[in-house]
Amino acid sequence: MHSTTSESPATEQTGSPTSPLPDSVAQALKIAVVGGFGVGKTTMVRSVSEIRPLTTEENMTQAGVGVDDLQGVEAKTTTTVAFDFGRITLDATSVLYLFGAPGQERFWFLWDRLFTGALGAVVLVDTRRLADCFYAIDRLEAQGTPFVVAHNDFGEAEYSLSEVRAALDLDPAVPLTRCDARDRDSAKRVLIELVEHIRSLVLAQAP
Amino acid sequence: MSLSHRREGPDRLYVITSGRSGGADQNLDAVTLIVAESAPTPGMQSEHARILNLCAGPLSVVEIAAHLGLPVTVVRILLTDLIDTGRVTARHPAPASPAYPLASPEVLEKVLVALHNL
Protein backbone atom coordinates (compact mmCIF):
# COMPACT_ATOMS: atom_id res chain seq x y z
CA MET A 1 0.00 0.00 0.00
CA HIS A 2 1.36 3.35 -1.02
CA SER A 3 1.20 6.24 1.37
CA THR A 4 -0.50 9.39 0.21
CA THR A 5 2.87 11.12 0.14
CA SER A 6 4.55 8.62 -2.15
CA GLU A 7 4.49 10.91 -5.19
CA SER A 8 6.78 13.47 -3.60
CA PRO A 9 10.43 12.83 -4.41
CA ALA A 10 11.46 14.14 -1.01
CA THR A 11 9.71 11.26 0.74
CA GLU A 12 12.04 8.73 -0.82
CA GLN A 13 14.39 9.42 2.05
CA THR A 14 11.92 8.77 4.83
CA GLY A 15 12.93 5.13 5.10
CA SER A 16 15.60 6.22 7.55
CA PRO A 17 14.23 7.02 11.01
CA THR A 18 15.97 10.38 11.05
CA SER A 19 15.22 11.28 7.42
CA PRO A 20 18.31 13.35 6.66
CA LEU A 21 18.02 16.24 4.23
CA PRO A 22 20.12 16.44 1.06
CA ASP A 23 23.63 17.75 1.79
CA SER A 24 22.96 20.81 -0.36
CA VAL A 25 20.12 22.11 1.85
CA ALA A 26 21.29 25.31 3.49
CA GLN A 27 18.18 27.40 4.03
CA ALA A 28 15.34 26.58 6.43
CA LEU A 29 12.03 28.44 6.55
CA LYS A 30 9.25 28.32 9.13
CA ILE A 31 5.47 28.49 9.13
CA ALA A 32 3.52 28.20 12.38
CA VAL A 33 0.13 26.58 12.83
CA VAL A 34 -1.47 27.94 16.01
CA GLY A 35 -4.74 27.23 17.73
CA GLY A 36 -6.36 25.82 20.84
CA PHE A 37 -6.10 22.24 22.07
CA GLY A 38 -7.71 19.64 19.84
CA VAL A 39 -8.35 22.02 16.96
CA GLY A 40 -6.28 19.93 14.53
CA LYS A 41 -2.85 21.59 14.45
CA THR A 42 -0.89 18.33 14.46
CA THR A 43 -3.37 16.80 12.04
CA MET A 44 -2.75 19.62 9.57
CA VAL A 45 1.02 19.30 9.96
CA ARG A 46 0.77 15.54 9.42
CA SER A 47 -1.37 15.98 6.30
CA VAL A 48 1.38 17.80 4.42
CA SER A 49 4.62 16.77 6.15
CA GLU A 50 7.11 14.45 4.42
CA ILE A 51 8.14 13.06 7.81
CA ARG A 52 5.93 11.70 10.56
CA PRO A 53 5.41 14.71 12.85
CA LEU A 54 7.96 14.88 15.65
CA THR A 55 7.42 16.19 19.15
CA THR A 56 9.84 18.03 21.37
CA GLU A 57 9.78 20.48 24.23
CA GLU A 58 10.96 23.95 25.02
CA ASN A 59 11.59 25.12 28.58
CA MET A 60 11.52 28.63 29.81
CA THR A 61 12.70 29.74 33.20
CA GLN A 62 11.05 32.97 34.11
CA ALA A 63 9.45 34.91 36.91
CA GLY A 64 6.02 33.74 35.90
CA VAL A 65 4.59 37.24 35.54
CA GLY A 66 1.45 37.13 33.44
CA VAL A 67 1.71 33.39 33.05
CA ASP A 68 0.35 31.88 36.22
CA ASP A 69 -0.81 33.32 39.48
CA LEU A 70 2.00 32.29 41.76
CA GLN A 71 0.22 33.41 44.96
CA GLY A 72 3.26 35.01 46.49
CA VAL A 73 5.77 32.40 45.35
CA GLU A 74 8.79 34.49 44.57
CA ALA A 75 11.08 31.86 43.08
CA LYS A 76 11.51 31.42 39.36
CA THR A 77 9.38 28.78 37.71
CA THR A 78 10.10 26.65 34.70
CA THR A 79 7.36 26.41 32.11
CA THR A 80 7.56 23.53 29.68
CA VAL A 81 5.50 23.19 26.56
CA ALA A 82 5.50 20.44 23.97
CA PHE A 83 5.11 21.22 20.30
CA ASP A 84 4.88 19.18 17.11
CA PHE A 85 6.48 19.87 13.80
CA GLY A 86 6.80 18.49 10.30
CA ARG A 87 8.87 19.21 7.25
CA ILE A 88 8.56 19.82 3.51
CA THR A 89 11.72 19.81 1.39
CA LEU A 90 11.21 22.65 -1.11
CA ASP A 91 14.14 22.09 -3.46
CA ALA A 92 17.82 21.14 -3.39
CA THR A 93 18.71 24.08 -1.16
CA SER A 94 15.64 24.86 0.94
CA VAL A 95 13.39 23.20 3.48
CA LEU A 96 10.18 24.41 5.13
CA TYR A 97 9.35 23.47 8.73
CA LEU A 98 5.75 23.55 9.96
CA PHE A 99 5.24 24.02 13.68
CA GLY A 100 2.02 23.28 15.51
CA ALA A 101 1.79 25.14 18.78
CA PRO A 102 -0.86 26.19 21.27
CA GLY A 103 -1.89 29.81 20.78
CA GLN A 104 -3.08 30.79 24.23
CA GLU A 105 -1.28 33.58 26.03
CA ARG A 106 0.50 31.37 28.56
CA PHE A 107 2.29 29.47 25.75
CA TRP A 108 3.33 32.50 23.82
CA PHE A 109 6.97 32.39 24.88
CA LEU A 110 7.30 29.64 22.28
CA TRP A 111 6.89 32.32 19.66
CA ASP A 112 9.82 34.30 20.90
CA ARG A 113 11.99 31.22 21.25
CA LEU A 114 10.99 29.23 18.21
CA PHE A 115 9.07 31.17 15.64
CA THR A 116 11.02 34.39 15.31
CA GLY A 117 11.57 34.88 11.62
CA ALA A 118 8.64 32.69 10.55
CA LEU A 119 7.22 33.52 7.13
CA GLY A 120 3.76 33.59 8.62
CA ALA A 121 1.12 31.66 10.51
CA VAL A 122 -2.07 29.71 10.05
CA VAL A 123 -4.56 30.29 12.87
CA LEU A 124 -6.71 27.18 13.06
CA VAL A 125 -10.13 27.77 14.61
CA ASP A 126 -12.86 25.51 15.90
CA THR A 127 -16.26 27.23 16.12
CA ARG A 128 -17.00 25.36 19.36
CA ARG A 129 -14.06 27.13 21.02
CA LEU A 130 -13.51 30.35 19.13
CA ALA A 131 -12.10 32.15 22.17
CA ASP A 132 -9.01 29.89 22.07
CA CYS A 133 -7.67 31.84 19.10
CA PHE A 134 -8.46 35.43 20.15
CA TYR A 135 -5.09 35.97 21.79
CA ALA A 136 -3.18 34.49 18.84
CA ILE A 137 -4.93 36.80 16.37
CA ASP A 138 -4.30 39.87 18.55
CA ARG A 139 -0.66 38.97 19.00
CA LEU A 140 -0.01 38.25 15.32
CA GLU A 141 -1.63 41.54 14.32
CA ALA A 142 0.42 43.43 16.92
CA GLN A 143 3.74 41.97 15.82
CA GLY A 144 2.97 42.29 12.11
CA THR A 145 3.29 38.58 11.31
CA PRO A 146 1.25 37.71 8.21
CA PHE A 147 -1.46 35.13 8.89
CA VAL A 148 -4.58 33.52 7.53
CA VAL A 149 -7.41 32.03 9.57
CA ALA A 150 -8.60 28.55 8.68
CA HIS A 151 -11.85 27.18 10.08
CA ASN A 152 -11.27 23.46 10.57
CA ASP A 153 -14.77 22.11 10.11
CA PHE A 154 -13.80 18.43 9.78
CA GLY A 155 -15.81 18.35 6.57
CA GLU A 156 -19.04 19.63 8.13
CA ALA A 157 -19.86 23.30 7.73
CA GLU A 158 -22.04 24.51 10.61
CA TYR A 159 -21.47 28.22 10.19
CA SER A 160 -20.88 30.40 7.16
CA LEU A 161 -17.49 32.06 6.78
CA SER A 162 -19.13 35.47 7.19
CA GLU A 163 -20.56 34.33 10.53
CA VAL A 164 -17.11 33.11 11.62
CA ARG A 165 -15.49 36.35 10.46
CA ALA A 166 -18.01 38.40 12.42
CA ALA A 167 -17.58 36.26 15.54
CA LEU A 168 -13.80 36.72 15.34
CA ASP A 169 -14.12 40.43 14.53
CA LEU A 170 -11.49 39.71 11.90
CA ASP A 171 -9.85 42.44 9.84
CA PRO A 172 -11.33 42.26 6.29
CA ALA A 173 -7.78 42.12 4.89
CA VAL A 174 -7.03 38.83 6.67
CA PRO A 175 -7.98 35.82 4.53
CA LEU A 176 -10.45 33.41 6.13
CA THR A 177 -10.92 29.98 4.67
CA ARG A 178 -12.54 26.67 5.45
CA CYS A 179 -10.54 23.47 5.66
CA ASP A 180 -10.50 19.85 6.67
CA ALA A 181 -7.12 19.48 8.38
CA ARG A 182 -7.17 15.70 7.81
CA ASP A 183 -7.21 16.16 4.06
CA ARG A 184 -3.85 16.71 2.36
CA ASP A 185 -5.24 18.83 -0.48
CA SER A 186 -7.29 20.93 1.91
CA ALA A 187 -4.30 21.54 4.22
CA LYS A 188 -2.12 22.29 1.20
CA ARG A 189 -4.66 24.87 -0.05
CA VAL A 190 -4.52 26.68 3.32
CA LEU A 191 -0.73 26.91 3.13
CA ILE A 192 -0.88 28.17 -0.46
CA GLU A 193 -3.43 30.78 0.60
CA LEU A 194 -1.07 31.91 3.38
CA VAL A 195 1.96 32.19 1.09
CA GLU A 196 -0.07 34.03 -1.58
CA HIS A 197 -1.29 36.41 1.14
CA ILE A 198 2.31 37.03 2.26
CA ARG A 199 3.33 37.62 -1.36
CA SER A 200 0.57 40.20 -1.84
CA LEU A 201 1.73 42.01 1.33
CA VAL A 202 5.37 41.89 0.18
CA LEU A 203 4.53 43.20 -3.29
CA ALA A 204 2.36 45.96 -1.80
CA GLN A 205 5.32 47.07 0.35
CA ALA A 206 7.91 46.65 -2.39
CA PRO A 207 10.41 49.50 -2.70
CA MET B 1 7.01 9.78 20.21
CA SER B 2 8.04 9.37 23.82
CA LEU B 3 9.94 12.11 25.55
CA SER B 4 12.36 9.92 27.45
CA HIS B 5 13.69 12.61 29.76
CA ARG B 6 10.26 12.91 31.39
CA ARG B 7 10.89 9.64 33.16
CA GLU B 8 14.24 10.72 34.45
CA GLY B 9 13.64 14.14 35.92
CA PRO B 10 15.73 17.28 35.87
CA ASP B 11 18.83 15.82 37.55
CA ARG B 12 19.85 13.92 34.44
CA LEU B 13 19.43 17.01 32.26
CA TYR B 14 21.69 18.87 34.66
CA VAL B 15 24.34 16.14 34.27
CA ILE B 16 24.05 16.14 30.47
CA THR B 17 24.86 19.85 30.32
CA SER B 18 27.56 19.59 33.04
CA GLY B 19 25.45 21.76 35.30
CA ARG B 20 24.91 24.55 32.80
CA SER B 21 21.53 26.11 32.15
CA GLY B 22 22.84 28.90 29.94
CA GLY B 23 25.72 29.65 27.62
CA ALA B 24 23.99 28.38 24.50
CA ASP B 25 24.82 30.10 21.22
CA GLN B 26 21.98 32.62 20.84
CA ASN B 27 22.24 32.39 17.05
CA LEU B 28 20.99 28.81 17.15
CA ASP B 29 17.52 29.08 15.74
CA ALA B 30 14.95 26.27 16.00
CA VAL B 31 15.59 25.54 12.33
CA THR B 32 19.32 26.20 12.14
CA LEU B 33 20.65 23.20 10.20
CA ILE B 34 23.47 21.27 11.84
CA VAL B 35 26.02 19.21 9.90
CA ALA B 36 28.62 16.94 11.50
CA GLU B 37 32.20 17.65 10.46
CA SER B 38 33.74 14.62 12.16
CA ALA B 39 32.85 11.16 13.42
CA PRO B 40 32.32 10.47 17.13
CA THR B 41 35.47 9.63 19.07
CA PRO B 42 35.88 7.11 21.91
CA GLY B 43 35.24 8.64 25.31
CA MET B 44 33.07 11.41 23.94
CA GLN B 45 29.93 12.29 25.93
CA SER B 46 27.22 10.00 24.57
CA GLU B 47 24.82 12.84 23.68
CA HIS B 48 27.56 14.55 21.66
CA ALA B 49 28.27 11.27 19.86
CA ARG B 50 24.58 10.77 19.10
CA ILE B 51 24.33 14.26 17.63
CA LEU B 52 27.33 13.60 15.36
CA ASN B 53 25.70 10.37 14.16
CA LEU B 54 22.33 12.10 13.57
CA CYS B 55 23.88 14.97 11.63
CA ALA B 56 25.68 13.03 8.91
CA GLY B 57 23.36 15.07 6.67
CA PRO B 58 21.86 18.45 7.60
CA LEU B 59 19.29 18.26 10.42
CA SER B 60 17.49 21.09 12.22
CA VAL B 61 17.95 21.87 15.92
CA VAL B 62 14.35 20.85 16.68
CA GLU B 63 14.72 17.53 14.84
CA ILE B 64 17.86 16.76 16.83
CA ALA B 65 15.97 17.56 20.05
CA ALA B 66 13.07 15.31 19.05
CA HIS B 67 15.33 12.40 18.08
CA LEU B 68 17.37 12.68 21.30
CA GLY B 69 14.22 13.07 23.42
CA LEU B 70 15.72 16.16 25.07
CA PRO B 71 14.33 19.71 25.43
CA VAL B 72 15.47 22.19 22.79
CA THR B 73 17.11 24.28 25.52
CA VAL B 74 19.41 21.40 26.48
CA VAL B 75 20.20 20.55 22.86
CA ARG B 76 21.24 24.17 22.20
CA ILE B 77 23.85 23.88 24.95
CA LEU B 78 25.15 20.55 23.61
CA LEU B 79 25.34 21.95 20.07
CA THR B 80 27.22 25.00 21.26
CA ASP B 81 29.90 22.66 22.69
CA LEU B 82 30.20 20.93 19.32
CA ILE B 83 30.27 24.18 17.35
CA ASP B 84 32.95 25.61 19.65
CA THR B 85 35.15 22.55 19.07
CA GLY B 86 34.55 22.51 15.31
CA ARG B 87 32.83 19.12 15.32
CA VAL B 88 29.68 20.48 13.69
CA THR B 89 28.88 23.47 11.53
CA ALA B 90 25.64 25.47 11.63
CA ARG B 91 23.70 26.76 8.61
CA HIS B 92 21.62 29.61 10.00
CA PRO B 93 18.39 30.92 8.44
CA ALA B 94 19.08 33.92 6.22
CA PRO B 95 18.35 37.21 7.97
CA ALA B 96 15.50 39.31 6.57
CA SER B 97 16.62 41.75 3.91
CA PRO B 98 15.95 45.46 4.52
CA ALA B 99 14.08 45.67 1.20
CA TYR B 100 11.81 42.75 2.04
CA PRO B 101 11.42 42.45 5.81
CA LEU B 102 8.71 39.76 5.53
CA ALA B 103 10.26 37.54 2.84
CA SER B 104 11.74 38.02 -0.59
CA PRO B 105 9.45 37.42 -3.60
CA GLU B 106 11.93 34.80 -4.87
CA VAL B 107 11.68 32.77 -1.66
CA LEU B 108 7.89 32.99 -1.65
CA GLU B 109 7.74 31.87 -5.28
CA LYS B 110 9.90 28.87 -4.42
CA VAL B 111 7.59 27.93 -1.53
CA LEU B 112 4.49 28.29 -3.72
CA VAL B 113 5.93 26.07 -6.45
CA ALA B 114 6.83 23.38 -3.91
CA LEU B 115 3.39 23.54 -2.24
CA HIS B 116 1.59 23.27 -5.58
CA ASN B 117 3.71 20.21 -6.38
CA LEU B 118 2.94 18.47 -3.08
In chain A, what percentage of residues exceed pLDDT 70?
81
CA separation, residue A36 to residues A114, A131, A134, A156, B6 (Å): 18, 9, 10, 19, 24
Which of B65, B103, B109 faces A119 most closely, judged by CB atoms?
B103
Among positive and negative, which fits the CA dihedral A128, A130, A131, A136? positive
Range A26-64+78-204 has CATH code 3.40.50.300: yes
| pLDDT tens digit sequence for A116-125 | 889 999 999 9
Kindly give, in sequence order, each residue whose CB lies less than 8 Å from that of residue A22, ignoring residues fewer than 6 positions away. Answer: A89, A92, B57, B58
| pLDDT tens digit sequence for B53-103 | 999 999 999 999 999 999 998 999 999 999 999 999 999 998 888 888 889
A187 touches chain B (CB under 8 A): no
The CATH number of residue B38's host domain is: 3.90.930
For residue A96, the cross-strand partners are A29, A88
Mean of pLDDT values over A169-180? 95
| pLDDT tens digit sequence for B15-58 | 778 777 777 888 899 999 999 999 999 999 999 999 999 999 99
- Domain ranges within chain A, ordered by starting residue: 26-64+78-204
> Could you tell me if A37 and A100 are in contact, meaning their C-beta atoms sit under 8 angstroms apart?
no
* Chain B interface mutation, best of A5, A56, A109, A193, highest count of B Cβ atoms under 10 Å: A56
B39 touches chain A (CB under 8 A): no
pTM: 0.86
User: What distance in Å separates residue B41's CA from the closest CA in chain A?
Assistant: 21
Cα-trace Rg, chain B: 17
Write out the residue range of the structural domain in which residue B43 sits: 4-116
Residue A9: is its pLDDT beyond 50? no
How many folded domains does chain B comprise? 1
